Every structure is written in C-alpha cells, then in structure tokens.
C-alpha cells in the first residue's frame, strides 16, 4: 500500500506551485485543487495502514530504486524547481506532475491487477480516475503556456 506514492514528496511537490509568486494564478489554482483532491486519498491510505496495525514510515522511500518507480520525483528535481520562476517553473512543474501522475496510475493499476483487499482496490480505482482527470487538466494548462 505504501507503494501508491511517497506522500511526503507528493505533498511537497504540489505545494511548490501553491500560493507562490513564481507561477501564474492558473497553475497555483490547479496545484491547490490537486492538493485538496488528494487529501482524502492520503487519509484513506493512512486509515488502511492503521487498520493493519502499521505506522506510516517517513523513511520508507530511502532505500527505494527510484529508476523502477515511474514518475517518482527525487530531491534533485525538486531543488531544480525551487530555483525556477515564471513560465520556466510552470512548464517544469506541470511536466513533472504529469509524469508523476502517470507513475501513480501505473502503480495503482498494479494494485488492481494483483490486489485482493476490496478497500485497497476501491481506493486504487478512485486514484486512477482522479489522476487521469488531473493529467487532463495539467496537460491543458501546459498547452496554454
């Protein structure tokens, strides 16, 4: 279940665009919408972990092969974005968010192919639908820059 996505990185990444002077109101609005939309998914994942008697491990992603995780954003990429401004920032942010969402869809589809737990499967289905909608919005905004 922790394989859905690294919640700490995702939250930090979404917040890079939110309420900053480095991006347009449209990009900031979309980043805020994504953050709000994903909050219930994060809550559900945490609840599922708690039900299994597991705690969220903030270090779980430290020993991961990032090359095998499509769309996973690493600190070096985040640091590059933190230095960018304006259209450069927006293009980089939108493209990386699209790639990240595609990776989340791939991981969720693996859960749907292999997973047995009904609530985890339901969450994975919801995540795929939401991420597809968000990719469409990200792509539209990217095309408008």
Give 63-100 pLDDT, tens digit per residue.
555 455 555 555 566 566 667 777 888 888 888 889 88
- State the pLDDT at residue 80: 65
pLDDT at residue 105 is higher than 80: yes
Is 122 inside a domain boundary? yes
- State the pLDDT at residue 74: 52
Is 62 inside a domain boundary? no
Give the integer Cα–Cα distance in Å for 81 and 94.
11
- The larger pLDDT score, comparing residue 4 to residue 54, is at 54
Reduce the DSSP state of residue 116 to 3 states and report it.
coil
**What's 110's domain CATH number?**
1.20.1260.10
What distance lies between CA 130 and its chain's CA centroid? 11
Residue range of the domain that includes 47: 2-56+71-144
E strand or H helix that includes residue 140: helix 118-144
| Residue 106: other Cβ atoms inside 10 A | 14
* pLDDT, mean of residues 22-42: 85
Instruction: Please report the beta strands in the chain, taking only residues with DSSP state E, as ranges in sequence order.
Output: none
Long-range contacts of 116-123 (CB under 8 A, 24+ apart): 117/48, 119/44, 119/48, 120/1, 120/48, 123/4, 123/41, 123/44, 123/45, 123/48
CB-based burial, 107-119: b 16+ in 10 Å, e otherwise: bbeebeeeeeeee
pTM of the model: 0.76
Give the integer Cα–Cα distance in Å for 90 and 64.
28
- The total number of structural domains in the chain stands at 1
């Amino acid at each position: 279940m922790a394989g859905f996505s690294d919640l700490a990185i995702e939250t930090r990444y979404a917040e890079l665009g939110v309420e900053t002077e480095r991006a347009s109101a449209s990009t900031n609005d979309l980043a805020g919408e994504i953050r709000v939309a994903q909050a219930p998914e994060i809550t559900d994942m945490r609840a599922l972990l708690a039900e299994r008697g597991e705690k969220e491990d903030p270090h779980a992603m430290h020993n991961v092969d990032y090359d095998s995780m499509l769309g996973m954003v690493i600190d070096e990429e985040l640091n590059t974005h933190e230095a960018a401004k304006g259209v450069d920032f927006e293009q980089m942010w939108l493209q990386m968010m699209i790639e990240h969402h595609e990776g989340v869809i791939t991981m969720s589809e693996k859960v749907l192919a292999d997973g047995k737990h009904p609530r985890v499967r339901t969450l994975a289905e919801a995540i795929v639908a939401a991420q597809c909608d968000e990719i469409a919005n990200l792509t539209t905004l990217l095309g408008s820059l």
